[in-house]
Chains A and B, each alone.
Chain A
């Protein structure tokens, strides 16, 4: 059992776990035009989906490693380099297919949650 002080952290961990897969979709959907990490975070925040930066940046890298994103360094101002990410052709394909998957899950889940108590 977790204590009352520990509960918020537990909830946060579970929430993160729940959202992990959805975040991939969210990120891919917003990278039609190139963005750097922080601007992407702001944009997602504004749309009501907040991701801790500590999760977002590694995710971007992982997606790039899987060939779903392209990235390049650019010089923002003075000597501050920024890494810009943009969806790749393969990423677009994945986005399309995963979106279908998401719709199916979402539909099934809302049914499940509604009938939760009944046997």
Chain B
């Protein structure tokens, strides 16, 4: 499978940092210019024996981040130089807040018997603290980015490798980095999981009367599973927080993630033992159907996680399609443009 030659990767990397509306145009000019340079030196970007010379050419051209900056890439709230420090501060924050909340929870647990509502409260606090600290840290860094260019320069020179030579061979391949964690996804997952665990643990207290009594009966069937579900969500939140602090997936976390997904399949499947869920036939069969669907979803999730644990770094089939589509799309755009130009020139020739 083609992962793009150095030129493709370079053009992609520069474009990635530019605002959407000028990206295609700049990428096209950049590609055209690079082709001029290759031709001039009689190089072929796809030939292995020319690799060293192509590398030298790209080095002369400059680091993608510099080139993109020259094109006015300043869409970052927090620029590339401050980003490593920004993430570090955020991670440390998450870690400290989690520890503090955990300690508070343990202390409170000794003084108060109602553990369920305690957990709910603690998670509420945790989410609040995360959001507030995220906002505060982001605002501080955004201000630094705008008003303290000197500090930025300092951070850049301190950031390892800023002054060292740049090696085009380290350009990322045109493929998503599957070991890098997705921060947004993790934070969203933590918030929703926390909300879910809170709601679930409040369920025993719900009162249903009249027509709604069947709902109460149905929910009662699931009450025995709540501790298991709570444990599983707690594992999930812990794993997510750990991943936030690490920034990357490792083999161990991949396996924990798979184990967690597999445990979900077992817990969901074992809720089938509680059937029948209702004296009303329709309610009973709908609940069973929903559980069946959830089992299928959790099975697929577990299978994907098993695949990632067994074959780290190997893309899933649909991820490959996306990369190929990206490369194809770039090529197609250039072609379309070429054709449009041709017809335009033919027209002007005729005049």
Contact = CB atoms under 8 A, between A and B. Distances in A.
Interface string B47-65: 0000000000000111100
A83 interface: yes
Nearest to A58: B70
Given A52-B62, A53-B62, A79 B71 contact: no
Given A54-B62, A58-B67, A80 B32 contact: yes
A73 B341 CA distance: 8
A93 B103 CA distance: 70
Nearest to A55: B70
A38 B40 contact: yes
A92 B342 CA distance: 31
Contact of B29 (A37, A55, A59): A37
Given A38-B37, A53-B37, A83-B29, A5 B334 contact: no
A80 B35 contact: yes
Nearest to A78: B338
Contacts, number: 79
B62 to A, nearest CB: 3
Contacts of A5: 164
Interface residues of B, number: 30
A9 interface: yes
If over half of B's interface residues share one DSSP class (helix, strand or loop), that class is named, otherwise mixed; here it is helix
A81 B30 contact: no
Contacts of A13: 163
Nearest to B34: A53
Nearest to B338: A79
A78 B338 CA distance: 8
Interface in A24-61: 36-38, 42, 52-55, 57-59, 61
Contact of A81 (B61, B72, B341): B341
Nearest to B67: A54
Given A58-B71, A82-B32, A9 B337 contact: no
Given A2-B163, A5-B164, A53-B33, A75 B345 contact: yes
B62 A55 contact: yes
A86 to B, nearest CB: 16
Contacts of B339: 79
Nearest to A75: B341
B325 interface: no
12 contacts: A53-B37, A53-B62, A54-B66, A57-B29, A57-B71, A58-B71, A61-B71, A74-B345, A75-B345, A81-B32, A81-B337, A82-B32
Interface of B: 26, 28-30, 32-33, 35-37, 40, 60-63, 66-67, 70-72, 163-165, 334-335, 337-339, 341-342, 345
Given A36-B33, A81-B337, 13 more contacts: A9-B163, A9-B165, A37-B36, A52-B62, A54-B61, A54-B62, A54-B63, A55-B70, A57-B70, A58-B70, A61-B72, A74-B341, A79-B335
